Amino acid sequence: MDKVPKIGIPLLILAIAIIVLIAKSAITINSGEAGVLYKTFDGGVVTDEPPLGEGFQIIAPWNKVHIYEVRQQELFEKMKVLSSNGLEIQIDASAWYKPVPDQLGNLHQTLGQDYLDRVIKPAIRSAARSVVGRYTPEQLYSSKRDAIQDEIFTETKKILENQYVFLERVLVRDVTLPVPIKEAIERKLKQEQESLEYEFKLVTAQKQAEERIIQAQGKADANKILSASLTDKILQDKGIEATIKLSESSNSKVIVIGSGDSGLPIILGDQ
């Protein structure tokens, strides 16, 4: 077996070194990610340049790249907080967030890749405690779900200001009360509903009674006016008109046999 030429050994070493350098220098950044460059011999974390974008990147082999996901992410949190009267309430909430892409260098330098645990979770928990502490369990159970959701979002966003994180939205998915409190609230709401229904029936019955009184009064007034307007002469004229129409009927055989007390003839027919 032939010996390896002396010149071949340095070339082999050089080739291996080049391969290692290329492997150390080549970075692939996936979709939805960005890279923060750390320069080992030139100032550390780069904060005055845009982060490295998606795709294949070449860096100096002695430098490092820290990868961050810059797409919208979701955090789920179950929190136990106190209401205004000191009762423990469980809030199930979620938050949509992402790092500010052009501030990744500052984010990495001040908070690091575990920024979720360092600032976002504490911020949401603090805001939830503050907001829920303003309301009673009954308000939280019935009518204030949307209000506390908006208030928690507003307060969390205020806490995260200047933290290089963008908070898109906070959603309150569930509010869990202690079972005895929940049952008491449900009984109270049911009683209030029944009371409203009873009051509605009373008002309706009262209105119907008033309408009947008004109608009866109207009929009484009409009869009174009619009675006052009818005289013996008017009644006699009406009787004469009716007698004439009856006598002219083709279906009647009219026989006049005398006159009544009113002076009108008495008419009989065969129909």
Q: How far apart are CA 271 and CA 262, in angstroms?
A: 24
Last residue of a domain, one of 148, 182, 216: 182
Residues 177 and 83 in one domain: yes
Q: State how far the alpha carbon of 108 is from the alpha carbons of 88, 99, 160, in Å.
A: 37, 10, 15
Q: How far apart are CA 258 and CA 256, in angstroms?
A: 6
CATH number for 111: 3.30.479.30
Looking at the 3D structure of the chain, how many domains does it have? 3
For residue 257, pLDDT beyond 50: no
In a domain, 65, yes or no: yes
In a domain, 37, yes or no: yes
Interval 3-10 mean pLDDT? 61
For residue 20, pLDDT beyond 80: no
pLDDT digits (tens, 9 = 90+) for 46-63: 988 889 988 888 888 888
pLDDT digits (tens, 9 = 90+) for 112-129: 999 999 999 999 999 999
Interval 7-18 mean pLDDT? 65
Ranking 30-34, 45-49, 128-132, 258-262 by mean pLDDT, the lowest is 258-262
Confidence of residue 21 (pLDDT cuts 50, 70, 90): low
Domain extent at residue 78: 73-182
Residues in the chain: 271
For residue 231, pLDDT beyond 80: no
For residue 243, pLDDT beyond 90: no
Residues 42 and 18 in one domain: yes
User: How high is the mean pLDDT of the chain?
Assistant: 79
Residues 124 and 162 in one domain: yes
In a domain, 156, yes or no: yes
Report which of 267, 271, 270 is spatially closest to residue 256, judged by C-alpha positions.
267
Residue 125: φ, ψ to 5°: -65, -40
pLDDT digits (tens, 9 = 90+) for 167-218: 999 999 888 887 766 666 656 666 666 566 667 777 777 888 778 888 878 7
Interval 103-108 mean pLDDT? 94
In a domain, 196, yes or no: no
Residues 28 and 124 in one domain: no
Residues 89 and 162 in one domain: yes
pTM assigned to the model? 0.61
For residue 267, pLDDT beyond 80: no
Residues 63 and 79 in one domain: no
- The top-scoring range by mean pLDDT among 23-27, 130-134, 135-139 is 130-134
